[in-house]
């Protein structure tokens, strides 16, 4: 990898850039064999590798990453280790029914706990804080929808740690008059995603996983054994796991083209705020918050006293195109929105801007399944809510690979019937139409603000 290529990778997010010096593992340069080969060096791929090695210490496990560890969404996200499954509980309940919504929520509780335990057990230095998160409404219409969501959680008995937050409580906590109502969940976490994914790399290496960076899979052959071809070496393995998230439609020679499409979300981060600026906005407990828009905004403090926030605008690409990491209008929108909530921060400068692809499927529900035979497992469709989910999915996939049965492998997203996307043109048009419609709903619900 050239120095310039490395610089391009590191510039893909504030977190990657802020991480400082990073030495990737060398690329694969010879033919090797493995029990399990995993494509994708994000939370999903590395969690799978680590958990599989825990169950099968003598197995040879290989992870290949086309760029560097954390290059994908795992090194770029907001770092909310949260319980939201799919897009919204209402959508999950409508499509899958109440029982499956309950099971999905229980899975997400386990996922958040799993991340917290992993961080503590392995002493991850990923700035993990178990601070909880709010969901807030700016308008009466948004508040009404939020109270329906809260009622659904109550009806399903899932409101355990949740509480309804009136305007005065929110104004006290956040020193803004923009929040009309909210919901609070204390049992969620915040982390630095780039540090987290590289701590996962550290523990993978400790248990003997072989990791090759700058090593894209350029061909996959599924015959008696699986052969994964990379530019300078081939991996022959018994089993293969494809953990390529928003890039999955471009993975060669396997039928994943119509499983998901990448949808980009964009983020900005401020300079570190001064103690006076923090004082001016309250936010004393430094929890995360999201709003209740259709095209949601998400906000959180960083360990070094900045605010990072994102959302509000998304982008979709056509066909194989993955060149959508830059979106000046989305960044401007983020900055304006932050300063709309906090006019106190009018003079604060934005220090970094970035974006990244999430994996979205047609029914907005995560999926884990087999391709062809039980030798190839894929995972995708985490929408924008994959931080905790992908960590636990890794444990689930490791159990599937080991032919173990457990409450995890019984989770209904495994081998579920998914509705496939139509071809490129229809998928792109539908995604554009949907994001256009969601933008209109937000405009309608925020009239007069
Ligand atoms: C800006 C942003 C903010 C987000 N915020 C949150 C949040 O706050 N909370 C939350 O829960 N979720 C959030 N998400 C979603 C979350 O980040 C993802 O769901 C999660 O990181 C997905 O992890 P992954 O390992 O499955 O995929 P990725 O991290 O995307 O990893 C896939 C990897 O596969 C590699 N790859 C692709 N093709 C090949 C190939 N042919 N050969 C080898 N390697 C290949 C890629 O380079 C990439 O590194 C956000 C996403 C984005 C983009």
All domains of the chain, ordered by start, with CATH?
3-76+194-260+363-418 (3.50.50.60), 133-186+262-360+429-445 (3.30.9.10)
User: Cα(261) to centroid of ligand 1, in Å?
Assistant: 13
**Helical packing angle, 193-206 and 43-55, nearest 10°:** 30
With a 6 Å cutoff on the Cβ, whether 385 touches ligand 1 is yes
Fill in the DSSP letter of residue 311.
E
Q: What is the maximal distance between C-alpha atoms in the chain? A: 65
Tell whether the model's pLDDT for residue 187 goes beyond 90: yes
Q: What is the C-alpha R_g of the chain?
A: 21
* Ligand 1: residue whose CA is nearest its atom 31: 42
Nearest to 413 by CA among 176, 72, 57, 86: 86
Tell whether the model's pLDDT for residue 1 goes beyond 90: no
Tell whether the model's pLDDT for residue 414 goes beyond 90: yes
Mutate to test the pocket of ligand 1, among 235, 244, 262 (most ligand atoms within 8 A of CB): 244
CA distance 335 to 310: 9
Q: Which two tokens stand for residue 124?
A: 């991850």
pLDDT band at 419 (very low <50, low <70, confident <90, very high): confident
| pLDDT tens track for 360-387 | 999 999 999 999 888 999 999 998 999 9
User: Cα(217) to centroid of ligand 1, in Å?
Assistant: 17
With a 6 Å cutoff on the Cβ, whether 182 touches ligand 1 is no
**Helical packing angle, 387-401 and 43-55, nearest 10°:** 40
Q: Check if the beta carbon of residue 83 is closer than 8 Å to that of residue 109.
A: yes
CA distance 431 to 159: 32
pLDDT band at 430 (very low <50, low <70, confident <90, very high): confident
| pLDDT tens track for 20-59 | 999 999 999 999 999 999 999 999 999 999 999 999 999 9
Strand partners, 369: 378
Q: What is the percent of the chain with per-residue pLDDT over 70, rounded to a whole number? A: 100
CA distances from 289 to 135, 186, 198, 283, 413 (A): 6, 11, 25, 10, 27
- Rounded to an integer, the average pLDDT of 282-310 is 96
Backbone angles phi, psi at 237, to 5 degrees: -140, 160
The pLDDT assigned to 255 comes to 86
* Ligand 1: residue whose CA is nearest its atom 18: 386
CA distance 163 to 263: 31
- Rounded to an integer, the average pLDDT of 284-300 is 96
Tell whether the model's pLDDT for residue 64 goes beyond 90: yes
With a 6 Å cutoff on the Cβ, whether 65 touches ligand 1 is yes
pLDDT band at 423 (very low <50, low <70, confident <90, very high): confident
The pLDDT assigned to 374 comes to 87
CA distance 330 to 266: 6
| pLDDT tens track for 90-114 | 999 999 999 999 999 999 999 999 9
With a 6 Å cutoff on the Cβ, whether 409 touches ligand 1 is no
User: Cα(383) to centroid of ligand 1, in Å?
Assistant: 10
Which atom of ligand 1 lies at the shortest distance from residue 265's CA?
Answer: 1
The pLDDT assigned to 427 comes to 87
With a 6 Å cutoff on the Cβ, whether 311 touches ligand 1 is no
- Rounded to an integer, the average pLDDT of 162-185 is 97
Mean pLDDT of the chain: 96
The pLDDT assigned to 137 comes to 98
With a 6 Å cutoff on the Cβ, whether 270 touches ligand 1 is no
């Amino acid at each position: 990898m050239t120095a310039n290529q490395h610089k391009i990778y590191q510039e893909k997010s504030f977190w990657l850039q802020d991480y400082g010096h990073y030495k990737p593992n060398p690329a694969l340069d010879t033919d090797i064999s493995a029990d399990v080969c995993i494509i994708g060096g994000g939370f999903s791929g590395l969690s799978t590798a680590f958990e599989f090695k825990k169950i099968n210490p003598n197995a040879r496990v290989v992870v290949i990453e086309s760029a560097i560890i954390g290059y994908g969404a795992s090194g770029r996200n907001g770092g909310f280790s949260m319980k939201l499954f799919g897009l919204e509980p209402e959508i999950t309940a409508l499509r899958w029914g109440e029982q499956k919504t309950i099971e999905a929520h229980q899975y997400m509780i386990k996922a958040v706990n799993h991340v917290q335990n992993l961080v503590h057990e392995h002493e991850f230095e990923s700035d993990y804080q178990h601070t909880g998160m709010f969901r807030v409404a700016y308008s009466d219409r948004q508040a009404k929808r939020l109270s329906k969501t809260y009622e659904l959680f109550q009806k399903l008995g899932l409101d355990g740690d949740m509480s309804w937050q009136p305007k005065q409580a929110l104004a006290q906590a956040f020193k803004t008059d923009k929040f009309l109502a909210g919901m609070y969940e204390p049992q969620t976490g915040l982390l630095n995603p780039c540090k987290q994914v590289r701590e996962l790399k550290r523990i993978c290496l400790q248990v003997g996983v072989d990791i090759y960076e700058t090593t894209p899979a350029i061909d996959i052959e599924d015959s008696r054994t699986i052969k994964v071809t990379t530019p300078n070496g081939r991996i022959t393995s018994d089993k293969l796991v494809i953990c390529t998230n928003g890039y999955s439609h471009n993975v060669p020679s396997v039928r994943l083209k119509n499983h998901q499409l990448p949808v980009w979300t964009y983020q900005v981060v401020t300079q570190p705020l001064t103690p006076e600026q923090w004082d001016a906005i309250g936010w004393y407990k430094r929890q995360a918050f999201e709003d209740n828009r259709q095209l949601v905004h998400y906000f959180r403090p960083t360990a070094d006293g900045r605010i990072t926030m994102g959302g509000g605008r998304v982008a979709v690409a056509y066909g194989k195109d993955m060149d959508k990491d830059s979106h000046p209008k989305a960044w401007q929108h983020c900055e304006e929105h932050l300063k709309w909530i906090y006019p106190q921060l009018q003079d604060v400068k934005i220090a970094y801007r970035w974006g990244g692809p999430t994996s979205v499927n047609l029914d907005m529900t995560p999926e884990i399944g087999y391709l062809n035979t039980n030798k190839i497992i894929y995972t995708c469709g985490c929408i924008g809510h994959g931080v905790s989910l992908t960590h636990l999915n890794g444990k689930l996939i490791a159990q599937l690979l080991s032919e173990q049965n457990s409450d995890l492998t019984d989770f209904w997203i495994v081998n579920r019937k998914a509705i496939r996307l139509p071809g490129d043109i229809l998928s792109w048009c539908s995604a554009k139409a949907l994001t256009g419609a969601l933008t209109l709903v937000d405009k309608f619900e925020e009239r007069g603000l």
